[in-house]
Chains A and B, each alone.
Chain A
Amino acid sequence: MRRLHRLQSKTAQPLPRNRNKASTDSSPSSHRWEHGVARLRDAGLPVVARRGCRSRPAIAPGCPVSIGLSSISPGRTSKGRAKPVRLEPHDRIVDQVGKYGFKLLVRVSQDPDKPFWAGNPPENSQHFTDFLAALAKRYKGRIGATRSGTSPIWRANGATSSLIRRDTRRCCAVPTMPSRQTILARQ
């Protein structure tokens, strides 16, 4: 991850301090942020594909690595309204990740109507379900795992308990998919 951040300084425009701004702001800076992250991915994916994760020496060069990096959500306007869903940026992510042989772990934490959070459940769960169905159909076979939430996940069974202990260092690799490793990239 640190390497990706270093790459950012060389290859992409600076990220704003407030990452949430990207999902709530339709200003030009929001566009620059999105563009910068896209360039960062373009630079970082081949590096990870070639070298694996720096903090995971167990990952041999060329080892398949899974990447979870996409929060699919419509975003909000500055007035709090949901923006029309734009899946084109995510199409690009799925294409790029597939190109390097990774698997995607996708977080879907909002529906087209409203973001939901603690104490703020979705107004219409069917809308969220429909949204998930549309995503599953669009990216059929190209997404390794789909979840709603915000942070690392772990398989919750005894068979992976040793992996859980081994992989906790530096919050980089997450053992979610058999025989693969998952890296949570920040977005």
Chain B
Amino acid sequence: MLRSAYNAIKTNDPSATVVTAGMAPTTQDDAIAMPDLKFYQGMYDAMNKNSDGYFDMLGVHGAGYAVAPETDPQVVATDPKLNNNDPSSTELKRVYAFRHIEDVRM
């Protein structure tokens, strides 16, 4: 769908910039949702690790949860008050930090 959407937009407006959907950060991993890093990995695998013809910019949801943007993701992941008491592993709970965006960039 991403490739066909890209082609549809570029065919009608070659100067347009196409951005992927921003994934909502979550630790949920079931039939309804999956962690954003897992989705991005699957997306890049499906593109054979080459985004040419699929998008111009990668959209990322950077909302965070309950702390200032500059808060260290590791601090957020280890404090239940800052990660909504999420029972997931510490590594997954980094999604509650705004700087989780840096995880995606890596």
Give A residues with C-beta under 8 Å from B: 105, 109, 118-119, 122, 125-126, 128-130, 132-133, 136-137, 139-141, 143-158, 161, 164, 168-171, 176-177
Contact = CB atoms under 8 A, between A and B. Distances in A.
A105 B70 CA distance: 25
Interface of B: 1, 4-5, 7-13, 15-24, 31-33, 56-63, 69-70, 98-99, 101-102, 104-105
Given A129-B7, A149-B23, A164-B102, 14 more contacts: A129-B5, A132-B9, A133-B9, A146-B9, A146-B16, A148-B59, A149-B22, A149-B61, A153-B58, A154-B58, A154-B59, A156-B60, A168-B62, A168-B98
Contacts of A151: 22, 24, 61-63
Contacts of A105: 19
A141 B13 contact: yes
A51 to B, nearest CB: 23
B105 A161 contact: yes
- Residue picked from A128, A153, A158, most chain B C-beta under 10 Å: A153
Nearest to B15: A141
A176 B59 CA distance: 10
B2 to A, nearest CB: 9
Contacts of B23: 149
A86 B56 CA distance: 28
A122 B21 CA distance: 14
Contacts of B24: 118, 150-151
B105 A164 contact: yes
A125 B3 CA distance: 11
A174 to B, nearest CB: 9
A119 B22 contact: no
Contact of B33 (A119, A128, A136, A153): A119
Contacts of B16: 136, 140, 143, 145-146
Q: Which 5 pairs between the two chains have the least Cβ-Cβ distance?
A: A147-B19, A136-B12, A119-B32, A149-B21, A149-B22
A154 B15 CA distance: 19
Given A119-B32, A153-B57, A153-B60, A144 B8 contact: no
B53 to A, nearest CB: 14
A149 B5 CA distance: 14
B104 A146 contact: no
A139 B19 contact: no
A133 B5 CA distance: 8
Contacts of B69: 168-171
Contacts of B13: 136-137, 139-141, 143
A86 to B, nearest CB: 20
A168 B105 CA distance: 15
